[in-house]
Amino acid sequence: MKAHGIVYQVAAWLWLSLTVVESFSVGSSLYRRPGAAIFRSRLPLQSDHTELRATVEKHENGFFSPDEYEAYKWTTQIKASVEAKDIDGAEQAFSDMVLAGVQPNVHSYSVLMKGACQVRDMDRSLDWFNKMVEDEIEPNEVSYNTMIHGYATVGEVEKMEEWFKKMQEAGLRPDETTYNTMLIGYVKVGRQDLAVEIFNRLVDAGCEITIIPLNALISGFSSQGEVEQAVHWVKKIEERNLKPDIYTYNYLVRAEATSGNATQCMRRFLQLKNAGFSPDHSTYTSILVGFARSGNVTEAEGWWVRMQQEEDAALQNPPYTFYRNVVEAYARADDMEGARRWLARLEGRGFRADGRLYAELIEAYARAGDQFHMAAAYDAMVKRGRAQPRAGVYEAFVTVQARAGNLEQMRRWADTMVEKGLAPGAPVLREALAAYKRAGRLPEGKAWLAGLVAAGVLRE
């Protein structure tokens, strides 16, 4: 998802769920990651002064001990670095905190875990969770919710479920944050059935039902063009006396577009306007992405023209994410002509494709067996210094070369993947073994896999 309106709505809510916990524990030891940046400031940033003043008042009134107050000040500094997405700075502040003789508390660790989750580094977040346990600080609901949220964000729902069980085994009760996070995690990977189950558990647990999980369900069904289900959950909003917001209408518009129903798409668009909302980038993204998925290029182009004619200057000059989402939609629909057309529009506006977009293009070209454009996209990504290619990029090259019978090239890409610290997935390994078998070199292929197992790259 990779990028939909729900992401922005939920992000704010999830951050609120990780606000300061006023229950403090003690016990820690110095911990610094190699290469951590030096964080020189020892005072909370200006953005934290309002919150800090409230804490000062509690301290002056005797609610906080001096040690608790010092821990809060340092944790506020760590949080400021996390909010700036400077995880190295946050870790440096933590080390400085320990060197100053101040004992970190559960919130200090939870904030660092959240920072690692923000940069999608779940191994790093897990390191901090384990460090907290080693220092005999008991994780709380925020700690577990942070891990659940992190794995939900990266789409690792099995890990998400594992941490949900760990939370319960620790004697902690899942709350609204827990269930909503898991629901959104399932929606992200297209498991609307499991998302509905989580919603029912949310209701059974007596948690407050907000529009957030309902909109998430509508988003999931709309992305699959399941209009009836999307409308069903809109009715649930009304049954609970909640008011549909612009996200709700955007998802309905997308549902109709994804199903290829141009007439109904226009009707939903007018409903949005009649409800007092103005179409925004998300509205048009929903429409263009929907019609791209349904293969209705004519309608998509018509809505693009309509968007350019809007009086709102912001709609006439959409941001990079708008173009990226549309390019990705065409790529995922295997319409590479459409993807290239929109990539040209993106570059025509002065934008440059990022690593994520190149990865989508490479994987789409791989599905089409187009080695020429795959190589061109990869070379452009490397030349422009974009992000580290994700595992799917290398797997795409391994798969294409395997199917073409180019065993040496296949191995080269697989070895490069391993050198980058990435392990090939089971489907790719099956393709590789099949290629060796077709070439009459199966023993060689098995020996290669055995070597990967021996090196610890793969499990037996």
Percent of the chain with pLDDT over 70: 85
DSSP state of 3: -
For 84, which DSSP code?
T
Reported pTM: 0.70
Contact 58, 64 (CB under 8 A): yes
pLDDT tens sequence across 321-360: 999 999 999 999 999 999 999 999 999 999 999 888 999 9
Read off the DSSP letter of residue 311.
Answer: S
pLDDT above 90 for 456: no
Number of CB atoms found within 10 A of residue 421's CB: 9
Q: In percent, how much of the chain has pLDDT > 90?
A: 55
In this predicted structure, which of 232-241, 333-342, 451-460 has the lowest mean pLDDT? 451-460
Domain ranges of the chain: 390-460
Q: What mean pLDDT is predicted for residues 17-29?
A: 34
In whole angstroms, give the CA distance from residue 452 to residue 283: 47
Residue closest to 355 by CA, chosen among 324, 332, 326? 324
Torsion, CA 10, CA 84, CA 283, CA 287, rounded to 10:
-90
Distance CA 23, CA 29 (A): 19
For residues 31 and 95, is the Cβ–Cβ distance under 8 A? yes
Residues 75 and 23: their CA atoms lie apart, in Å, by: 13
Task: Give helix 355-368 / helix 371-383 axis angle, nearest 10°.
Answer: 170
Give Cβ neighbours of residue 122 (< 8 Å, ≥ 6 apart): 116, 150, 151, 154, 156, 159
CA atoms within 13 A on the CB side of 352: 9
Look at residue 232 in the predicted model and tell me its pLDDT: 95
Give the chain's mean pLDDT.
Answer: 83
pLDDT of the residue at 322: 93
DSSP string, 46-90: GGGHHHHHHHHHHHHTTSS-HHHHHHHHHHHHHHHHHHTT-HHHH
- pLDDT, average across residues 183-189: 94
Sign of the CA dihedral running 165, 171, 173, 177 = negative
Q: Which of 42-51, 288-297, 430-439 has the lowest mean pLDDT?
A: 42-51
C-beta separation of 233 from 221 below 8 A:
yes
pLDDT band at 313 (very low <50, low <70, confident <90, very high): confident
pLDDT tens digits, residue range 298-312?
999 999 999 999 888
Give the pLDDT mean for 156-182: 94
Give the tens place of pLDDT for each residue, 380-408.
888 887 667 788 889 999 999 999 999 99
Q: In this predicted structure, what is the pLDDT of residue 65?
A: 64
Owner of token pair 């610290």: 421
